[in-house]
């Protein structure tokens, strides 16, 4: 029989989840990778909010409709020679006062361009979390850790991302000398390659790290803490928690129950 | 950086000089090619002009300038021509650094940075915008080149653009007068300035308004560059009347 039992219902669980999300704050990540023919350097931030908690015995916490707001900032490099035609401006001959003068043909070498893209959106997801308790640095902690990465519905976001990339490509490519006659081709080709290489997969790769291994701390308590007696002059009494377990129990309704031995 | 400067010619530039006086002309290639230390390199090249018989020639001899081991070199270190013929120089490829052509011989000096009698430069305009060309030594001589963007969405439009860049536009400068004060061309088009009877024209071309301030246009009739002769501000007073 534990010395102390504490139980919270799903309503209280929602309050705790909101506090845990606020404590988690803004998450960030960065790196570089390749994506199809592109080289990509990226940084992204994300924050979590909302969601509703459900408890399931023996130790599962489900969160439905948790919202992930994210901002992506990435730059991808692309060698225009891989899509634009190689060729030369023709040799031209100009009649001058002392005869025709011909210029050499000018062969075009397209540059590798850097395309900066900023994109913000949000998504919602639902996932099951496993309960865990551990004593870390003198504190008893109860947290929940995501059990499996849920399927993220990125279709609409990917479409919006492709549109954003199209604008960024047009802006980045437009400064390339002599690009005008090839501008429409370049934008269509780059955006097409990006779409074929799966923008949704690209988004998923950037966002999954925020969700994979996601952990919320629900409860934290120093292992030893003082209890102040109700009436002086008795001194404060130090209490030490020797064991703490967490589980979901059904007593009319599902509750998260903490069992404490002191 | 200027769009064109005869002291720093690029891959898209051509310099030419017509030689009418017989003799051997020695020239150098580089940035400020005659600023060199006494024990510097000796990379001088030759244009040997033979006295022409009968009517003066009008042939062109083109030299491709390459860059290797820190030195500029024409594809022929010595070129023999007849009096009245023209030698042109241009970078062999885009990787060649900027350079100037400068030399001297029996007929006097010649230089891409100081265009004298029967010299020319040709420049390909690769980006849209409004450009002003000037003589750094004569503020009253100059003109504008409007380079319009060309956006193509069909093969017909693309072919029309290719046709439009298959010819050039000539600006003829005699003394201190130019025959055109304004030209309008599609992107990728070449403008050629020929210089006669000048004491040394330091041609510069600078971008004065970029594409954002211009209205991009598709090539409704791109096969020809638009030119106008006449007054342009206060500078057109020296426009050549032919």
Query: Mean of the per-residue pLDDT values for chain A?
Result: 89
Rounded to a whole number of angstroms, the CA Rg of chain A reads 30
A177 closest CB neighbour out of B127, B170, B190: B127
Query: How is residue A110 annotated by DSSP?
Result: P
Q: What are phi and psi of A23, to 5 degrees?
A: -70, -30
Rounded to a whole number of angstroms, the CA Rg of chain B reads 19
Q: Name the residue of chain A whose CA is nearest to B189's CA.
A: A89
More confident residue, A232 or B132: B132
Å from A42 to nearest chain B CA? 29
Region A51-79: what's the mean pLDDT?
92
What pLDDT, in 10s, does the model give residues B9-59?
A: 999 999 999 999 999 999 999 887 666 655 556 688 999 999 877 666 679
pLDDT of residue A51: 93
**Range scoring the smallest mean pLDDT among B171-175, B192-196, B220-224, B236-240:** B236-240
User: Which chain A residues are Cβ-neighbours of B166 within 8 angstroms?
Assistant: 90, 92
pLDDT score of A203 more than 50:
yes
What pLDDT, in 10s, does the model give residues A70-110?
A: 999 999 898 898 888 888 998 999 999 989 999 999 998 89
Å from B150 to nearest chain A CA? 5
What pLDDT, in 10s, does the model give residues A12-24?
A: 999 999 999 999 9
pLDDT of residue B209: 85
Measured torsion, CA atoms of residues A65, A69, A70, A71, in degrees rounded to the nearest 10: 160
Residues of chain A with pLDDT > 90: what percent? 48
Separation CA B54–CA B92 (nearest Å): 34
User: Which chain B residues are Cβ-neighbours of A175 within 8 angstroms?
Assistant: 127
DSSP E strands in chain A: the ranges are 4-8, 27-35, 38-49, 52-56, 60-79, 87-89, 93-96, 99-102, 106-108, 112-136, 139-146, 215-222, 224-227, 237-240, 243-251, 253-261
Please tell me if residue A89 touches chain B, with a CB cutoff of 8 Å.
yes
pLDDT bracket for residue A5 (50, 70, 90)? confident
pLDDT score of B78 more than 70:
yes
Q: Please report, for residues A82, A97, B117, B120, the alpha-carbon distance to residue B56 in angstroms, rounded to integers and kept in the order given.
A: 49, 13, 16, 18
Please tell me if residue A100 touches chain B, with a CB cutoff of 8 Å.
yes
pLDDT score of B223 more than 70:
no
Question: Contact at 8 Å (CB) between B22 and B137?
Answer: no
Å from B172 to nearest chain A CA? 8
């Amino acid at each position: 029989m534990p010395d102390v039992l504490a139980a919270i219902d799903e309503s209280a669980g929602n309050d705790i989840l909101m506090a845990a999300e606020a404590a988690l704050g803004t998450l960030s990540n960065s790196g570089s990778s390749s994506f199809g023919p592109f080289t990509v350097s990226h940084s992204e931030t994300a924050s979590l909010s909302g969601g509703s908690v459900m408890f399931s015995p023996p130790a599962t916490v489900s969160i439905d409709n948790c919202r992930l707001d994210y901002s992506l900032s990435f730059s991808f490099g692309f060698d225009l020679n891989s899509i634009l035609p190689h060729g030369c401006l023709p040799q031209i001959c100009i009649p001058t006062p002392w005869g025709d003068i011909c210029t050499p043909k000018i062969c075009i070498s397209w540059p590798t361009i850097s395309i900066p893209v900023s994109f913000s959106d949000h998504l919602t997801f639902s996932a099951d979390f496993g309960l865990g308790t551990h004593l870390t640095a003198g504190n008893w902690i109860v947290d929940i850790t995501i059990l499996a990465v849920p399927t993220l519905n990125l279709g609409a976001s990917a479409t919006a991302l492709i549109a954003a990339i199209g604008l960024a490509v047009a802006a980045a490519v437009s400064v390339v000398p002599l690009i005008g006659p090839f501008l429409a081709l370049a934008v269509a080709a780059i955006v097409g390659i990006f779409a074929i290489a799966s923008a949704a997969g690209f988004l998923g790769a950037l966002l999954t790290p925020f969700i994979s291994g996601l952990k919320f701390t629900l409860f934290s308590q120093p292992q030893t803490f003082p209890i102040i007696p109700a009436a002086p002059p008795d001194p404060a009494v130090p209490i030490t928690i020797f064991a703490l377990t967490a589980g979901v129990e059904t007593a009319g309704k599902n509750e998260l129950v903490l069992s404490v031995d002191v | 950086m200027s769009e064109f400067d005869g002291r720093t010619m690029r891959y898209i530039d051509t310099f030419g000089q017509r030689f009418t006086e017989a003799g051997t002309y020695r020239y150098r290639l580089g940035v400020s090619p005659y600023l060199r230390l006494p024990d510097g390199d000796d990379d001088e090249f030759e244009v040997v002009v033979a006295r022409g018989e009968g009517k003066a020639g009008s042939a062109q001899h083109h030299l491709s300038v390459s860059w290797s081991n820190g030195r500029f070199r024409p594809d022929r270190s010595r070129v023999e021509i007849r009096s009245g013929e023209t030698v042109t120089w241009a970078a062999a490829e885009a990787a060649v650094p900027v350079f100037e052509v400068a030399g001297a011989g029996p007929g006097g000096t010649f230089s891409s940075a100081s265009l004298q009698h029967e010299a020319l430069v040709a420049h390909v305009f690769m980006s849209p915008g409004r450009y002003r060309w000037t003589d750094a030594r004569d503020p009253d001589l100059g003109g504008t080149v409007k380079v319009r963007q060309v956006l193509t969405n069909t093969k017909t439009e693309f072919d029309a653009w290719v046709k439009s860049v298959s010819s050039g536009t000539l600006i003829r400068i005699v003394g201190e007068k130019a025959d055109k004060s304004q030209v309008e061309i599609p992107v990728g088009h070449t403008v050629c300035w020929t210089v006669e009877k000048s004491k040394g024209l330091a041609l510069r071309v600078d971008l004065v308004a970029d594409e954002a301030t211009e209205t991009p246009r598709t090539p409704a009739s791109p096969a020809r560059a638009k030119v106008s002769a006449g007054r342009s501000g206060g500078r057109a007073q020296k426009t050549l009347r032919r």
